[in-house]
């Protein structure tokens, strides 16, 4: 089995969790005997290629499709940027204009695409242009390497267009992998352009993989996708080679930690409210909110208003080793997310031996037994759970020990085996 | 009786905090950014304190007893002079030796203690007076509070500490139709005399001097002297109170501010009938015309002339209340190092950095601010304060 895989980033240069997950997936697939050819917009050359071949889209010269651009363009019509919606125009004029537009697009295509395009591979302002061009290159790669893969696998909306282009050119089945949806990122203020790309990817795909049942429900209900083709494969983690960090604690009190982006999605206000309730019962606890985000300032004001700022600390954005240091500093880790497709960070806490509390509205809640689960809005339940883990050693010890074993059992090899089945089902 | 003119300058430098992280709490109790404190003090010394002191000394030598000025120098500034620029302290001592310079009392670390704690306030004022006497040979007789903060209650409290006069802002909202150019008395205690800043004339120099958009620009000594004469012909005393850093810092040397100040005493002495007095002389020379009612605290800061620059939002109020919660315990502990850090954390500047009034007066706020946002200032300050609390608790537990 050979897979043409489209990603956006790959370790060591990662901005979010997607790159780490992709690495785990290709490694797990390799252990299951599945070969992958991993395409990314901008590779640096220092990526670990033990488990996959990396293809840098910035190095690909678009030549095959240029031989017959008209045919190519017909197949990937969806890629046309721009609109023909012009007001106050009679039909004759409109036809004239749109055919002219089409001719110029072919010319433009010949000129622009018979060359390499240097992708930034970041999440910048010309993201929409980058993903369109990435799709062009995706089509080219599918054509050049036609005989080297059986299935196409695309990760998250940035790569869906590339996946679709590859499918249209090669005729091979497409699997798309939903790590997060626009609803998770923005609540209800969905960017319609992103939504449209996501929905198109889901509709074109032969199978859709979601990272949790929570996400699967969103895909089925909000994007209107046939449930029969949507399958959940929970994420795993790979903590191999990670050394336990020993830190010297300098505060006597127990520390309860929130670590992540301080945004609506992560539910920081519920953490603060619960902290306030706990501090009323036992003042000898410290709370830490680590991270940065658009709700940081509001959170600081909330803490000041409650008058608990001598017990509630902010660290700002933490980098590299400081993240591990923060986990090692903690006695309880809390993730009160309002909506979380999966959520890797509680697993990092657990591998450090820290008991966790997670919201029922997170995908990771579906795979964890030894984590206390509460509704994100139920501040009383959250405060109860914090108090219990702080005050009853039997509880926190069990959560720490069993939690550690539980996380170690989450293997990418298992997840990859499920993916292999899904690939096979598309070839039948 | 000739009308009087009273020139007074405030000298203060804060102890800026270093970037103090959560991981430092309980571990590292060095709070201050020595490098930037030294760098800034050295800069201000070269650009302002040394040249301005030289000009003042030159004028005193030229006019003998007819030219007089007053300073208040915070304990924080004096400590920094000792550490980073002893020559500045020497130049102030040279001014003190002329007998034409009065040094006023204030809180040692330029704090807001007057608003919250009588004991803390008293302790800091006494420490400051002692320090001034040690360096300049005379015990201060007049008082000026941090940023000219004043209320009826504060005035009365200061009188009980042995001062006969106090300086504050001639704020419009307390004066109404009255003129700032008279000596007033405290509303609760008629023996306490109050000198009010003439903010129009003071700010003509401090804020507007180099403003080319100002319709009176450029202002020379003759023009300024005529305005002073104009007001003084009807009234008794003109109080010009300013930040000393006005000269060479807010108004750069290139604006001609030093030439202006060098020539101003002579112009005033020749072209007007005013005589220079120090605050102590002013309260002896002039009778109070009436009590002045100030039920709520005023200051010389911002458009509002109140305390909202330091205690105007929830961040400032929270940090302030957490800080003064410690007062009794610190007093009881009698630990030198802890007391010292505690006093430095009371500097009003730390609260000023947390101010969220970004508009009209924001420019002045950002000019002095080491932080990008008030939120960062708050986080950093609270981290430091949390460490101090741990030190106090540990010490108390040891007994």
Domain, as residue range, for A76 = 2-236+416-427
Asked whether residue A269 is domain-assigned, the answer is yes
To the nearest whole percent, how much of chain A has pLDDT over 70?
86
Q: Does B35 touch chain A (CB under 8 A)?
A: no
Asked whether residue A91 is domain-assigned, the answer is yes
> Chain B residues with CB inside 8 Å of A288's CB?
22
| Residue contact B386–A313, C-beta within 8 A | yes
| Residue contact B386–A310, C-beta within 8 A | yes
Question: Are residue A218 and residue A259 in the same domain, yes or no?
Answer: no
The total of structural domains in chain A comes to 2
> Chain A residues with CB inside 8 Å of B390's CB?
251-252
For residue A66, is pLDDT > 70? Answer: no
Q: How confident is the model at residue A80 (pLDDT cuts 50, 70, 90)?
A: very low
Mean pLDDT over A169-174 rounds to 94
Asked whether residue B95 is domain-assigned, the answer is yes
Question: Are residue A307 and residue A354 in the same domain, yes or no?
Answer: yes
Q: Does A316 touch chain B (CB under 8 A)?
A: yes
- Which pLDDT score, from 0 to 100, does residue A242 have? 75
Q: Which of A304, A310, A315 minimises the CB distance to B22? A: A315
Strands (E), B150-309: 165-169, 183-186, 193-197, 237-243, 275-276, 291-292
Q: How confident is the model at residue A57 (pLDDT cuts 50, 70, 90)?
A: confident
For residue A253, is pLDDT > 80? Answer: yes
Question: Are residue A348 and residue A229 in the same domain, yes or no?
Answer: no
Question: Are residue A272 and residue A159 in the same domain, yes or no?
Answer: no
Q: Which of B25, B382, B389 minimises the CB distance to A250? A: B25
Asked whether residue B386 is domain-assigned, the answer is yes
Kindly indicate whether the ipTM for this predicted assembly is greater than 0.90, answering yes or no: no
| Residues with Cβ within 8 Å of residue B311, at least 6 apart in sequence | B112, B115, B317, B320, B351
Question: Are residue B195 and residue B262 in the same domain, yes or no?
Answer: yes
Asked whether residue B308 is domain-assigned, the answer is no
Asked whether residue A243 is domain-assigned, the answer is no
Express each pLDDT in B151-165 by its tens digit.
999 999 999 999 999
| Residue contact A304–B21, C-beta within 8 A | no
Q: How confident is the model at residue A79 (pLDDT cuts 50, 70, 90)?
A: low
| Residue contact B375–A296, C-beta within 8 A | yes
Question: Could you tell me which chain B residue has the CA closest to the CA of A286?
Answer: B386
Asked whether residue A249 is domain-assigned, the answer is no
Question: Could you tell me which chain B residue has the CA closest to the CA of A325?
Answer: B23
Q: Tell me how far apart the alpha carbons of residues A129 and A122 are, in angstroms, rounded to a whole number.
A: 12
Mean pLDDT over B8-14 rounds to 97
Q: Does A288 touch chain B (CB under 8 A)?
A: yes
Q: Identify which has the larger pLDDT, A13 or B309.
A: B309
Question: Are residue A141 and residue A261 in the same domain, yes or no?
Answer: no
Chain A: closest CA distance from residue B284 (Å) = 47
Asked whether residue B220 is domain-assigned, the answer is yes
Question: Are residue B265 and residue B332 in the same domain, yes or no?
Answer: no
Express each pLDDT in B98-128 by its tens digit.
999 999 999 999 999 999 999 999 999 999 9
Question: Are residue B177 and residue B259 in the same domain, yes or no?
Answer: yes
- Which pLDDT score, from 0 to 100, does residue B83 have? 97
- Which pLDDT score, from 0 to 100, does residue A82 have? 37
Question: Are residue A172 and residue A269 in the same domain, yes or no?
Answer: no
The total of structural domains in chain B comes to 2
Asked whether residue B379 is domain-assigned, the answer is yes
Question: Are residue B287 and residue B318 in the same domain, yes or no?
Answer: no
Q: Tell me how far apart the alpha carbons of residues B101 and B277 are, in angstroms, rounded to a whole number.
A: 10
A362 φ, ψ (degrees, to nearest 5): -120, 145
Chain B: closest CA distance from residue A322 (Å) = 9
Query: What is the average pLDDT score of chain A?
Result: 88
Q: Which of B22, B315, B389 minimises the CB distance to A310? A: B389
* CATH code, B188: 3.20.110.20
Chain A: closest CA distance from residue B390 (Å) = 8
- Which pLDDT score, from 0 to 100, does residue A48 have? 87
Q: Does B26 touch chain A (CB under 8 A)?
A: yes
Asked whether residue A245 is domain-assigned, the answer is no
Domain, as residue range, for B380 = 314-398
| Residue contact B318–A316, C-beta within 8 A | no
- The alpha-carbon radius of gyration of chain B (Å, integer) is 21
- Which pLDDT score, from 0 to 100, does residue B267 have? 96
Q: Does A315 touch chain B (CB under 8 A)?
A: yes
> Chain B residues with CB inside 8 Å of A315's CB?
21-23
Question: Are residue A262 and residue A209 in the same domain, yes or no?
Answer: no
Asked whether residue B25 is domain-assigned, the answer is yes
Chain A: closest CA distance from residue B172 (Å) = 32
Q: Does B373 touch chain A (CB under 8 A)?
A: yes
Q: Tell me how far apart the alpha carbons of residues B147 and B166 are, in angstroms, rounded to a whole number.
A: 12
To the nearest whole percent, how much of chain B has pLDDT over 90?
91
β partners of residue B185: B193, B291
Give the pTM. 0.86
Question: Are residue B262 and residue B322 in the same domain, yes or no?
Answer: no
Instruction: Confirm if B273 and B2 have CB atoms less than 8 A apart.
Output: yes
- Which pLDDT score, from 0 to 100, does residue A14 have? 75
Question: Are residue B235 and residue B318 in the same domain, yes or no?
Answer: no
> Chain A residues with CB inside 8 Å of B25's CB?
250-251, 313
Question: Are residue A358 and residue A322 in the same domain, yes or no?
Answer: yes
Question: Are residue A231 and residue A258 in the same domain, yes or no?
Answer: no
| Residue contact A252–B319, C-beta within 8 A | no
Express each pLDDT in B127-141 by its tens digit.
999 999 999 999 999
For residue B364, is pLDDT > 60? Answer: no
Question: Which of the residue ranges A134-143, A328-337, B92-101 would you say has the lowest mean pLDDT?
Answer: A134-143
Question: Are residue B280 and residue B326 in the same domain, yes or no?
Answer: no
Question: Are residue B285 and residue B384 in the same domain, yes or no?
Answer: no
Express each pLDDT in B31-89 by its tens digit.
999 999 999 999 999 999 999 999 999 999 999 899 999 999 999 999 999 999 999 99
- Which pLDDT score, from 0 to 100, does residue A411 have? 93
Express each pLDDT in A33-54 by its tens digit.
999 999 998 888 888 888 999 9
For residue B231, is pLDDT > 80? Answer: yes
Chain A: closest CA distance from residue B344 (Å) = 18
Question: Are residue A279 and residue A211 in the same domain, yes or no?
Answer: no
Contacts 24+ apart (CB under 8 A), B330-337: B330/B392, B331/B119, B331/B120, B331/B123, B333/B392, B333/B395, B333/B396, B335/B395
Question: Are residue A166 and residue A96 in the same domain, yes or no?
Answer: yes
* CATH code, A113: 3.40.50.2000
Asked whether residue B307 is domain-assigned, the answer is no
Q: Tell me how far apart the alpha carbons of residues A410 and A393 are, in angstroms, rounded to a whole number.
A: 26
- Which pLDDT score, from 0 to 100, does residue A86 have? 47
Asked whether residue B282 is domain-assigned, the answer is yes
Question: Are residue B286 and residue B364 in the same domain, yes or no?
Answer: no
Q: Tell me how far apart the alpha carbons of residues A112 and A107 are, in angstroms, rounded to a whole number.
A: 8
Question: Are residue A333 and residue A362 in the same domain, yes or no?
Answer: yes
Question: Are residue B237 and residue B335 in the same domain, yes or no?
Answer: no
Longest Cα–Cα distance of chain B, Å, equals 68
Other C-beta atoms closer than 10 Å to the C-beta of A305 total 15
Asked whether residue A124 is domain-assigned, the answer is yes
> Chain B residues with CB inside 8 Å of A290's CB?
22
Question: Are residue B326 and residue B270 in the same domain, yes or no?
Answer: no
């Amino acid at each position: 089995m050979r897979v043409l895989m489209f990603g956006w980033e790959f370790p060591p240069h990662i901005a979010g969790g997607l790159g780490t997950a992709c690495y785990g997936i290709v490694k797990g697939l390799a252990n299951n005997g599945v070969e992958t050819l991993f395409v990314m917009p901008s590779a640096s050359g220092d990526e670990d290629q033990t488990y996959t071949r990396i293809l840098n889209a910035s190095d690909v010269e678009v030549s095959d499709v240029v031989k017959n651009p008209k045919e190519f363009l017909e197949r990937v019509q969806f890629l046309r940027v721009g609109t023909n919606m012009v007001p106050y125009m009679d039909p004759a004029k409109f036809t004239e204009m749109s055919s002219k537009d089409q001719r110029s697009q072919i010319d433009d295509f010949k000129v622009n695409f018979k060359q390499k395009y240097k992708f930034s591979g970041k999440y910048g302002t010309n993201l929409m242009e980058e993903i369109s061009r990435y799709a062009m290159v995706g089509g080219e790669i599918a054509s050049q390497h036609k005989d080297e893969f059986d299935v196409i696998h695309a990760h998250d909306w940035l790569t869906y267009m590339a996946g679709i282009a590859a499918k249209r050119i090669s005729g091979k089945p497409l699997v798309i992998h939903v790590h997060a949806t626009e609803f998770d990122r923005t609540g209800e203020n969905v960017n319609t352009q992103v939504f449209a790309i996501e929905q198109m990817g889901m509709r074109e795909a032969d199978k859709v993989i979601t990272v949790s049942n929570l996400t699967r429900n969103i895909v089925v209900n909000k994007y209107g996708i046939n449930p029969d083709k949507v399958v959940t494969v929970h994420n795993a983690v790979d903590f191999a080679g990670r050394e336990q960090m020993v830190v010297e604690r300098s505060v006597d009190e127990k520390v309860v930690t929130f670590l992540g982006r301080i945004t609506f999605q992560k539910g920081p206000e519920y953490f603060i409210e619960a902290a306030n309730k706990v501090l009323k019962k036992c003042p000898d606890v410290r709370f830490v909110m680590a991270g940065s985000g658009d709700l940081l300032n509001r959170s600081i004001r909330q803490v000041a208003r409650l008058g608990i700022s001598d017990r509630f600390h902010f660290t700002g954005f933490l980098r590299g080793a400081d993240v591990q240091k923060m986990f090692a500093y903690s006695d309880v880790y809390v993730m009160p997310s309002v909506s979380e497709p999966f959520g890797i960070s509680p697993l990092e806490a657990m591998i450090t031996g820290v008991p966790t509390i997670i919201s029922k509205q997170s995908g990771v809640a579906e795979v964890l037994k030894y984590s206390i689960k509460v509704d994100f809005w139920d501040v009383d339940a959250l405060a109860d759970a914090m108090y219990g883990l702080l005050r009853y050693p039997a509880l926190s010890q069990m959560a720490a020990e069993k939690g550690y074993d539980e996380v170690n059992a989450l293997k990418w090899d298992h997840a990859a085996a499920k993916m292999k089945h899904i690939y096979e089902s598309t070839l039948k | 009786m000739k009308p009087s003119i009273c020139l007074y300058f405030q000298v203060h430098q804060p102890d800026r905090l270093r970037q103090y992280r959560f991981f430092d709490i309980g571990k590292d109790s060095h709070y201050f950014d020595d490098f930037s404190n030294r760098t800034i003090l050295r800069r201000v010394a070269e650009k302002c304190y040394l040249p301005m002191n030289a000009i003042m000394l030159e004028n005193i030598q030229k006019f003998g007893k007819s030219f007089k000025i007053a300073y208040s120098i915070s304990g924080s500034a004096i400590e920094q002079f000792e550490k980073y620029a002893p020559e500045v302290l020497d130049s102030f001592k040279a001014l003190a030796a002329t007998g034409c310079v009065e040094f006023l009392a204030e809180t040692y670390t330029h704090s807001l203690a007057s608003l919250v704690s009588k004991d803390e306030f008293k302790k800091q004022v006494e420490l400051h007076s002692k320090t001034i006497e040690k360096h300049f040979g005379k015990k201060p007789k007049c008082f000026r509070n941090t940023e000219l903060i004043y209320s009826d209650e504060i005035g009365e409290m200061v009188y009980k500490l042995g001062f006969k006069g106090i300086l504050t802002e001639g704020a419009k909202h307390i004066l109404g139709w009255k003129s700032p150019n008279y000596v007033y008395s405290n509303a609760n205690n008629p023996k306490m005399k109050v000198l009010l800043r003439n903010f129009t004339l003071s700010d003509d120099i401090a804020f507007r001097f180099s403003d080319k958009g100002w319709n009176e620009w450029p202002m020379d000594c003759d023009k300024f002297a005529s305005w002073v004469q104009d007001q003084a012909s009807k009234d008794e005393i003109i109080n010009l109170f300013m930040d000393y850093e006005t000269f060479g810092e807010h108004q750069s040397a290139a604006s001609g501010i030093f030439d202006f100040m060098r020539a101003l005493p002579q112009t005033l002495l020749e072209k007007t009938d005013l005589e220079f007095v120090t605050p102590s002389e002013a309260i002896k020379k002039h009778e109070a015309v009436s009590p002045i009612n100030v039920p709520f605290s005023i200051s010389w800061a911002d458009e509002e002339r109140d305390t909202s620059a330091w205690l105007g939002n929830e961040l400032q109020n929270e940090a302030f209340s957490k800080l003064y919660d410690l007062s009794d315990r610190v007093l009881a502990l009698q630990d030198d190092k802890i007391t010292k850090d505690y006093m430095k954390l009371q500097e009003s500047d730390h609260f000023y950095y947390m101010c969220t009034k970004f508009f009209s007066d924001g420019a002045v706020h950002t000019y002095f601010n080491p932080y990008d946002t008030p939120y960062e200032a708050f986080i950093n300050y609270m981290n430091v304060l949390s460490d101090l609390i741990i030190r106090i608790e540990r010490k108390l537990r040891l007994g």
